[in-house]
Chains A and B, each alone.
Chain A
Amino acid sequence: MEKLIEVLKLGIYQTFILKDNYQYFVRGVGITLQVTLFSLIFGLILGVLVAIIRSAHDQQPENRRNPVLGFFNVLAKIYLTVIRGTPTMVQLLIMWFVIWAGTRSSEANLIRCAVLTFGINSGAYVAEIVRSGIMSIDKGQMEAGRSVGLSYAQAMRFVVIPQAFKNVLPALGNEMITLLKETSIVTVIGLKDLTKGAMIIQGNTYQALVPFFAIAIIYLVMVLLLTWVMGKVERRLRESDLR
């Protein structure tokens, strides 16, 4: 028992205190949060756009299909298929080492690349989540909106999307959690996020237990915070359901 405590003490010392190693965690959390936050925003915008294109296309009457919408619908379908059909890590590798090949590997560039990749990736999942939300809204809501003279876009924006959004909030929260954790694979392009920080410490000190458990706990705390925030938002939006 005393031996174990000694080992832990050394581990904690080498992981956090030696050479100001705790800085790796602080900076790592910063990078992880940055990548997650901007990817979320990017993915959300992209996802909602794609969801609207897909459902607008599907809601057209059979005999009056808009060809422009049809074109974008095909693009959207290809996007969904490719992004959801390939591993995120492969997408990241392609983005950095092929598409962005030759870009100076500064931290800012790496973050931009990661945000772009995760945003595009997350957008595909968000698109299907939001689309399921839009389809879950009774057709009568759209009809009522159109019957008072609102355009399709207005009825969508003021009536359908707010309700759809509320319905898919739990699923969106899930996607956000997945994204937050999935950003850990940015280590493969050398971005010093939280996970990479722990790996560097392991390389320098040969300590594994403490650094990896430490980041596990940090990820868990971040997810708990995110869950808490989502819960708050959900309660706010449920206001109109009160009887």
Chain B
Amino acid sequence: MIYVNDLCKQFGDNKVLQNITEHIKPGEKVVVIGPSGSGKSTFLRCLNLLEQPTSGSITFDGQEITAPRTDINKVRQHMGMVFQHFNLFANLTVKQNITLAPIRLKLMTKEEADAEAMRLLNRVNLADKADAYPAQLSGGQKQRIAIVRALAMKPKVMLFDEPTSALDPEMVGEVLEVMKELAEDGMTMVVVTHEMGFAREVATRVLFMDGGGIIEQGTPEEVFTNPKEARTKDFLSKVL
């Protein structure tokens, strides 16, 4: 579904990503782990071009999205993204957050979008918050709504950028629960996270990144219980 070919990203002289080649297949749940500064967030943000790659190409659904003439807005409609800091639209109610893009991009009428928003809110047990503003919600609630906002676009793949890192510990569970359900429904997911338990349980494949490259990858079983690379072992010994 997503082909990444020889992807490099530099910020000034700082080489954040170096020659990454990777293929994410439909239905896969890829979890990216690694120490901070290893480039995993940048890698994820390159997938929907929130970061412009310095070189290399990315193909999504048969379309080379790094080509100059690509309509990136169109592509992003099919790639949901969830951020570490939620980034709910602070000036809009919960329901408006969810329906803004479907309505403005003329994918749904207002009635359809509202109905879809309520259906999704019910799914995450937040229907009673439909008319609240983001400032009135807890972190866990915000992140569940951010997930719903992405889902309202009916994406083919969901990208998660450390979705639980900014949450109070007691709220991590409720967000991971929603993500697990999503995984069970067969959504293709790429998740950058420090939640090793989640990685173990949900991932079909784990990528370990360090120094701007993918050092090791495999099933959770392989990476967590039988790491081959010294750097992987070192990292896991610190976080497990």
Contact = CB atoms under 8 A, between A and B. Distances in A.
Interface of A: 61, 63-64, 138, 140-141, 143-151, 154, 158-159, 162-163, 166, 239-243
Given A148-B149, A154-B104, A240 B77 contact: no
Contact of A149 (B77, B87, B92, B135): B77
A241 B91 CA distance: 8
Contact of B135 (A61, A138, A243): A243
Nearest to A164: B91
Contacts of A239: 133
A163 B105 CA distance: 21
Contacts of B104: 150, 154, 158
Given A147-B79, A147-B81, 4 more contacts: A64-B52, A143-B83, A144-B149, A148-B81
Interface string B168-200: 000000000000000000000000000000000
B91 A147 contact: no
B74 interface: yes
Which are the 4 A-B pairs with shortest beta-carbon distances?
Answer: A149-B77, A144-B87, A140-B87, A148-B101
Interface in B59-100: 73-74, 76-77, 79-81, 83, 85, 87-93, 100
Contacts of B134: 240
In this complex, which of A61, A141, A143, A162 has the most chain B Cβ atoms within 10 angstroms of its Cβ? A143
Contacts of B52: 61, 63-64
Contacts of A149: 73-74, 76-77, 101, 105, 153
A150 B101 contact: yes
Contacts of B115: none
B89 A147 contact: no
B136 interface: yes
Contacts of A143: 50, 83, 87
A144 B89 contact: yes
A162 B91 contact: yes
A215 B62 CA distance: 72
Contacts of A148: 76-77, 80-81, 100-101, 149-150, 153
Nearest to B75: A149
A141 B90 contact: yes
B89 A159 contact: yes
7 contacts: A141-B89, A146-B50, A158-B92, A158-B104, A239-B133, A240-B93, A243-B135
A242 B91 contact: no
Contacts of B232: none
B91 A144 contact: no
B57 interface: no
Interface string B112-149: 00000000000000000000011110000000001001
A159 B74 CA distance: 19
A137 to B, nearest CB: 9
B42 interface: no
B48 interface: yes
A148 B91 CA distance: 16
Contacts of B76: 146-149
A140 B66 CA distance: 22
A63 B52 CA distance: 9
A168 to B, nearest CB: 14
B83 A140 contact: yes
Contacts of A162: 91
Contact of A240 (B50, B87, B133, B149): B133
Contacts of B77: 148-149
Contacts of A61: 52
Contacts of B93: 240
In this complex, which of A63, A138, A148, A243 has the most chain B Cβ atoms within 10 angstroms of its Cβ? A148
B48 A147 contact: yes
Contacts of B74: 149
Contacts of A146: 50, 73, 76
A140 B85 contact: yes
Nearest to A158: B100
A144 B48 contact: no
A53 B104 CA distance: 23
A163 to B, nearest CB: 5
Contacts of A141: 87, 89-90
